[in-house]
Amino acid sequence: MRRTSCCWDVQIMKQWALAAREAYGLQTSLLGLIVGAHFKSLRTWGVINHAFKQEIDWNDLRLSLARCGELWGVNGSPAVYGASTISGSGLCPYGETYLDRFPFWFQQVWGHSAFEQACALLSAGITSFAQAELLHVHLEKLRGDIKGLLGDYHFKMIHDYLVASKFLPPRWVCKYPVCAEGGTARGLREMFCHTGMGTGPKAFAEMLKEFTFQVKDESTTWWWTDHLGTVGAALCWHQRLKTDSTSQMHSNRLEQTSSAQWDRELAQLQQHGFTILGYHKARLPAQACTKTRLKMSSSA
């Protein structure tokens, strides 16, 4: 179970992060992971990722976010237009429209001292539990100071991306966020026979640490890549196996979220000329792809 617990979006963001770090530097790569986790949408990321360069094009980012609504409509772009994001996804008001808020607050991340300190740690390389703990502290400080930037599940996703990209080596993972409403928390409630619904993320993080220690102590198949996150993900996927899918095409949520969803969204992105750095071999600017397609259509 733990070998299949990585969603495709984690693999795609991993490849983007590695390519972006090489092309533009660690700051761009880390900011991109934070923004990707904030929106939690592969389709949204596929449109906006070309704005992330050595110098972030903030105006292009705003226009790209608006483009998501033009392509798929309000209902098709819940990461930007959903009921929970109409107010700026919890971010403080700024500008004339809620689309103005996203680039503004991501710029605040770029200049935040906790972000700079996290970048410095990652650039030097995480080589101890103490450094991994300090990285966690800086990221917690960032999300605490910029309200609405990263919810509990989004914070967990950042750790998924960092570990998958080997920016945070698995052997030094000492803390892993758990969303109280997620599948990992449901699994932990079962494992610890915990019926209290008021338990918070910190308590679940401690449960995950204890459970992982027990798994590692008793396992005969522990891999060097295993860590708190893989154990938590396996618990989450186990819950998805027992949960009915929202689609008639799939028997459970695991099947739905590990295959068809990403396939469909990647196909839609390529249809409109958008590619993801590091994932697609040929990365052409979306505008150039669109012009080429229009030219071919007019010729036909």
d(CA 65, CA 79): 10
Tell me: the pLDDT tens digits for 209-249?
999 999 999 988 888 888 999 999 888 887 777 777 666 76
Tell me: the pLDDT tens digits for 27-65?
999 999 999 999 888 888 999 999 999 999 999 999 999
d(CA 9, CA 137): 25
Tens of each residue's pLDDT in the chain, 300 residues: 555 445 778 889 999 999 999 999 999 999 999 999 998 888 889 999 999 999 999 999 999 998 988 887 766 676 676 545 444 456 777 877 778 888 999 999 999 999 999 999 999 999 999 999 999 999 999 999 998 899 898 999 999 999 999 999 999 999 999 998 888 998 898 888 876 666 788 999 999 999 999 999 998 888 888 899 999 988 888 777 777 766 676 666 666 666 667 778 888 899 999 999 998 864 444 444 344 333 333 443
pTM: predicted TM-score of the whole model, two decimal places: 0.84
DSSP string spanning 183-211?
HHHHHHHHHTT---TT--HHHHHHHHHHH
d(CA 45, CA 79): 10
